Structure 1
């Protein structure tokens, strides 16, 4: 939102600047850098040049000859002495509108003064029955197989339909598929022979564009040639239609276009490839917009990229071709967008089998013929061309980049007011204006008026008899310069004499406040006698000094060359200050404590210090730490050290005392880690201090190493013993607890008296089987 507002404000500012500049330009004449008549004429459309001899006064610049007509006449320049070229129509060739001539005039010659607009009128009337050439360009990808059947019968019907509203008609035919490389078509050898998915259908090999039939009035020949055509195929949905349209547009001789109304019917059921799509097939060379038909085939399609829409629109316009996009319903939105980029084109809905193509072409032709667009193509450099369209008494359109009338009926006359403005001096040139889609054209030749034809007639004693007149300006003989050759150069050129009147190379002559006469400035006298211009270069004025309370130099001085020279007792750029110092002296009698200057009887302190006397500096760093080394040096010096402390104590006045005020005390440690005590007071001036210090220092006592070491060792031993005692107590408690648990379990046990199965007797009884007991 903020950015939108910012851009809005910028646009409003630009518009205001343009309006302001235009207003100044229209009401005045810019005379900067004007030295002669040609410079004047080129400096603005309202500027005129007075060629009258002795028109300028002594010392006046020749630029005063350049002004508006009113100003020149007020200064006494007659109409016969004023050079003021104006834009005009020099000649034109006009013929009556009839069944052949639809646009008049056919050529016109303009002389344009830069900045001045010249208008002329153009008439147009659409002739009834004007001849028509129609080229039918058809998509032969496989999806158009049904459409081809109907187009093969189209010739006679199409000629008969067109002959109903034109006296002479010719029709031609061509077809397209796409570039014959991947990924647009399959490059398999079998598919290059028959690209259709249904191999039972006989299809012709794919191609980019094929011109089949030159424009002819023989409908049977159209049907015969188209009847020989077969459908083809490709891989992707978009087709190479723009390639084909470009060749139809630029190959006029091979197509057979006549100088009549030209219609290109583009029939398809799919989209189209545009510039840049060729990169998919590594085709990087931009389309050159040239004819490349060989044996009626576009054989360079795999070399050049697809054309851009803008490039195609330009070629169609240059070759006066109107396009009828006959597309299926699902493609209408795409081609409606394309129509907006291609002038004089129309979109019609093609039935699924192209059965309605004749009626579609008839309707499209009527729509195209009823719209008249007057256009000049690419705008010539530094020429601004706008149109007023007078379509009817109630339909008037003003100041448009092209002339446009809609719903124009046959034999209805419309007119256009063409306004041409040159913004600068140009070489002679010409451009064409023509109604798009029609063959008539208007050639506009332009010459800019940038020179002065003064035709000076010599007069006696002109230029003080030391030169001759050229457009009122004296061209002096050698040895003389000046407006009227009144100065003797003494070996100097007029530029060198004029340089004597410039303060420096970039400044104006006599600072713009005087006249340079023979190398010397003569300052102008003002109407107000109190205002005086002075100085070698008229650079000094006595009224452009500072004021105070609305009074120049506060009434306490005089203005000399832009600066106030003040009376005694006053100062300042506008003498507004009393130079007394009574309000700047502190109690010690110092002006601003030596840390500021007294201006207008008030202290102007240095950064950090406060008014009124620059005594306090709240934000300044405390000097206690800053002067620690200084005080240490002073103390050690008192103890007999002979070091000089002046380098450590710059600007310091030292005082030794035994008693110090506690609230103003600085306590800082010295290099021996002892505390020093002192007071610092800042004296008047910069970096000046008084230090009052005590020679006594407070040093900390040395540590008792034996006690520290002994205590540390004793502590470590005590901690170890304590840990052992604790460990012993814990283990003893655990043992007692385990023994009690054992005794309790022992009481609960019961003994079993069964024999031990693992026990074996120590003796073995053996029986002798032979022993019978005896």
Structure 2
């Protein structure tokens, strides 16, 4: 089966299933037909006279159609406003481009009159015109690192025009250049460096600048080549450039750039560096936010040093507002950065430049084909409490959410369709919004109002007998004349028991009808709120305008306000319906929610205790379980210790235990002494929950050996003997030094004595001389 028809079949099945949803009328306090139809899309009103029983409130007239028929209300007496749609302008789609404004989207104007809560679907068609004009503005980084790329770009004029002529004969090309703000710390503000910020050896260098518009969009190849050939590089200090500043000015200075009203507008940004964004200007003392206004004087951005860089959101909004589609032609080093930027800017593409930008033409051609073949339909200026969803009908639909519809691989002159469903959740008066394809000027204007009042088509009869002659009948119930109240206008304000009737309008001694209504005949007639809706409730204590807000939307835009409390749409929860009913963001690897150590609120884990986000897997500041669980490991694994008698009750946190001979993994292990001074080695794995563990324990404990007596005694004796010997040696040494000192003293005193220098009187020389007669003297 053709995939296109298969998709249509599935779409019809989904619609059929949704049309069979159960009809329910969740009504609050209802006093009139208008109150009834505002209560929900399936609430209808029975206008038959005498439909209610004695004592039954008029609210019984409000219910689903099936229940009213079941209760006996004739079908012709049931009031059920339906949606109304009118096509105000539906000019046919253009086949080819001519000098007149082509039409690529139909219809162009639609009027809707909707019942609150009841969706209405209509179809729009789109066909891209053959030969639709293209305006391409080449925005180049002229920092010093791009000097080689500039030389190649100077030769690209002819190739660019030839490439664009493959798609249209009405092509124009312009040129702009950027570097960065000419203030510190982005640019050297030395006067000489401002005039020549490049390297000293590089002569072809122009003065520092932020953004310069060089050439307005032109169809002249010669003019493009001439102006680009005049360009030279400049320089700055840091790596990121002022890309967003330049793109903002190129987007908002439409008259100076020369954007045509009917054209595909492209900005081709070529760079080898990242970009500065909002907040970076604080480094230079620039605190004023970007004002998203054109400030080109003599083709130069003159407010660069006064306004901060634009934010990505500001730039994306201006590009969308001016139907400009950016193509980021960047080097491989910064590809990931610009892909993240492209993800935040609708209808944009990223391509990788070669080192010298030689492939830029091929890159532009490929990016243009991707952009032109992808049709994205979205809405703008959507009123509060109005929802719009898109269903693409084409060969390759892409579901991206309710805010837009996307068709990919769309050929030129191929007609595609989108089914647009509009739902007003509350009463709306004369509002409008637009629907348009991104990057295309064509728009569909949707005028919207709601049916919040019943048209019962009854003859006007004053002093109707049904109303005791004191009022007229409106949609089956009485509208009393002045001075009379009650279900049948049976009560007069001047009744004698007025005080007792007024007491019926008070709750807990509060003011009558809470100060929000009038007490008439014992019943509160509630006033209108500031927005024109009514207070309601027995004591007018309720309204549908003062519920909690989220992101400045009542009930977050995901529910209805009922008597000060948000009633969330299916799939949402929270006091302001701010949370999607999903726990995908809280799911863990083992398919638990927050590992059982936290609660999933708003798709985020709120962890117990000191467990940490995002999944409550780890605890920061918790006591080390190795220390706290050792006694339980002892009793669970070896059946002794302090918990031996109460192991199961005291150690229930150890859910599983495994005894092994050795550990299989290299994860950190616990090692502690048990009650018998043996070392226990074990590992703990925390299971799902707060205090649940699995333990893996080594069977063999390491116990210390008992002490040996002989070595201890021998060692002690040896130690005593050694100490004695050392003491004797020390004593001997002291005596030696003392004797040495005394000897030196004796020697000194001997030198000082007089007799030491004279002859000894007791000494006598020899008196006999003996000579050997054989000794010759030799």
1:168 aligns with 2:170: yes
Structure-2 residue corresponding to 1:321:
324
Structure-2 residue corresponding to 1:390:
393
Of residues 225, 229, 232, the one that matches 1:230 is 232
Structure-1 residue corresponding to 2:67:
71
Of residues 269, 272, 280, the one that matches 2:272 is 269
Structure-2 residue corresponding to 1:375:
378
**1:599-621 CA deviation, whole Å, 9 max, x = no partner?**
xxxxxxxxxxxxxxxxxxxxxxx
Structure-1 residue corresponding to 2:428:
426
1:42 aligns with 2:30: no
Query: Would the alpha carbon gap of residues 226 and 62 (structure 1) be closer, same or farther in structure 2, given more than 3 Å must change?
Result: same
Any residues of structure 2 matched to 1:304-703 within 5 Å, and which? 304-377=307-380, 379-392=382-395, 395=397, 397=399, 400-458=402-460, 461-491=465-495, 497=501, 499-500=503-504
Query: Would the alpha carbon gap of residues 756 and 141 (structure 1) be closer, same or farther in structure 2, given more than 3 Å must change?
Result: closer
1:194 aligns with 2:191: no
**1:96-115 CA deviation, whole Å, 9 max, x = no partner?**
32233221111111112221
Structure-1 residue corresponding to 2:145:
143
Moved more, 484-493 or 238-247: 484-493
Query: Would the alpha carbon gap of residues 397 and 232 (structure 1) be closer, same or farther in structure 2, given more than 3 Å must change?
Result: closer
**1:743-772 CA deviation, whole Å, 9 max, x = no partner?**
xx9xxxxxxxx9995689xxxxxxxxxxxx
Structure-2 residue corresponding to 1:180:
182
> How far apart, in 1, do the equivalents of 2:506 and 2:165 lie?
81
RMSD: 3.2
Q: Count residues with an aligned counterpart.
A: 500
Please tell me whether the aligned partners of residues 59 and 517 of structure 1 are also in contact (alpha carbons under 8 angstroms): no
Query: Would the alpha carbon gap of residues 501 and 138 (structure 1) be closer, same or farther in structure 2, given more than 3 Å must change?
Result: closer
Which aligned runs of 4 or more in structure 1 are off by greater than 4 angstroms? 22-26, 394-399, 492-496, 501-509, 516-520, 754-760
Structure-1 residue corresponding to 2:211:
209
Please tell me whether the aligned partners of residues 479 and 491 of structure 1 are also in contact (alpha carbons under 8 angstroms): no
Q: CA deviation at 1:503?
A: 7.7
Q: CA deviation at 1:359?
A: 1.7
Please tell me whether the aligned partners of residues 60 and 483 of structure 1 are also in contact (alpha carbons under 8 angstroms): no
Please tell me whether the aligned partners of residues 493 and 520 of structure 2 are also in contact (alpha carbons under 8 angstroms): no
Please tell me whether the aligned partners of residues 388 and 399 of structure 1 are also in contact (alpha carbons under 8 angstroms): no
Of residues 284, 288, 292, the one that matches 1:285 is 288
Secondary structure in 2 matching 1:369: helix
Of residues 27, 33, 36, the one that matches 1:31 is 27
**1:174-229 CA deviation, whole Å, 9 max, x = no partner?**
11010000010000000011110134413111111111111111111111111111
Moved more, 197-206 or 264-273: 197-206
Secondary structure in 2 matching 1:108: strand
Query: Would the alpha carbon gap of residues 755 and 320 (structure 1) be closer, same or farther in structure 2, given more than 3 Å must change?
Result: closer
- Identify unmatched segments of 5+ residues in structure 2: 1-17, 97-101, 514-518, 524-738, 740-749, 757-778
1:81 aligns with 2:81: no
Q: CA deviation at 1:235?
A: 0.6
Structure-2 residue corresponding to 1:651:
none
Please tell me whether the aligned partners of residues 178 and 242 of structure 2 are also in contact (alpha carbons under 8 angstroms): yes
Query: Would the alpha carbon gap of residues 136 and 494 (structure 1) be closer, same or farther in structure 2, given more than 3 Å must change?
Result: farther
> How far apart, in 2, do the equivalents of 1:172 and 1:131 lie?
14
1:56 aligns with 2:56: no
Query: Would the alpha carbon gap of residues 64 and 228 (structure 1) be closer, same or farther in structure 2, given more than 3 Å must change?
Result: same
**1:58-94 CA deviation, whole Å, 9 max, x = no partner?**
3222212221112222333333332222223133422
Structure-1 residue corresponding to 2:641:
none
Q: CA deviation at 1:484?
A: 1.6
> How far apart, in 2, do the equivalents of 1:312 and 1:130 lie?
25
Query: Would the alpha carbon gap of residues 294 and 89 (structure 1) be closer, same or farther in structure 2, given more than 3 Å must change?
Result: same
**1:408-452 CA deviation, whole Å, 9 max, x = no partner?**
122222211111111211232111111111221111111122122
Query: Would the alpha carbon gap of residues 148 and 123 (structure 1) be closer, same or farther in structure 2, given more than 3 Å must change?
Result: same
Moved more, 163-172 or 48-57: 48-57
- Identify unmatched segments of 5+ residues in structure 1: 1-21, 510-515, 521-744, 746-753, 761-774
Query: Would the alpha carbon gap of residues 216 and 495 (structure 1) be closer, same or farther in structure 2, given more than 3 Å must change?
Result: farther
Query: Would the alpha carbon gap of residues 26 and 281 (structure 1) be closer, same or farther in structure 2, given more than 3 Å must change?
Result: farther
Query: Would the alpha carbon gap of residues 73 and 178 (structure 1) be closer, same or farther in structure 2, given more than 3 Å must change?
Result: same
> How far apart, in 1, do the equivalents of 2:159 and 2:327 lie?
18
> How far apart, in 1, do the equivalents of 2:751 and 2:148 lie?
115
Please tell me whether the aligned partners of residues 58 and 517 of structure 1 are also in contact (alpha carbons under 8 angstroms): no
Please tell me whether the aligned partners of residues 398 and 405 of structure 2 are also in contact (alpha carbons under 8 angstroms): no
Please tell me whether the aligned partners of residues 389 and 398 of structure 1 are also in contact (alpha carbons under 8 angstroms): no
Structure-2 residue corresponding to 1:93:
89
> How far apart, in 1, do the equivalents of 2:154 and 2:469 lie?
92
Structure-2 residue corresponding to 1:118:
120
Q: CA deviation at 1:24?
A: 14
Query: Would the alpha carbon gap of residues 375 and 503 (structure 1) be closer, same or farther in structure 2, given more than 3 Å must change?
Result: closer
Query: Would the alpha carbon gap of residues 757 and 508 (structure 1) be closer, same or farther in structure 2, given more than 3 Å must change?
Result: closer
Please tell me whether the aligned partners of residues 25 and 44 of structure 1 are also in contact (alpha carbons under 8 angstroms): no
> How far apart, in 2, do the equivalents of 1:755 and 1:274 lie?
99
State the TM-score, normalizing by the size of structure 1.
0.60
> How far apart, in 2, do the equivalents of 1:489 and 1:309 lie?
64
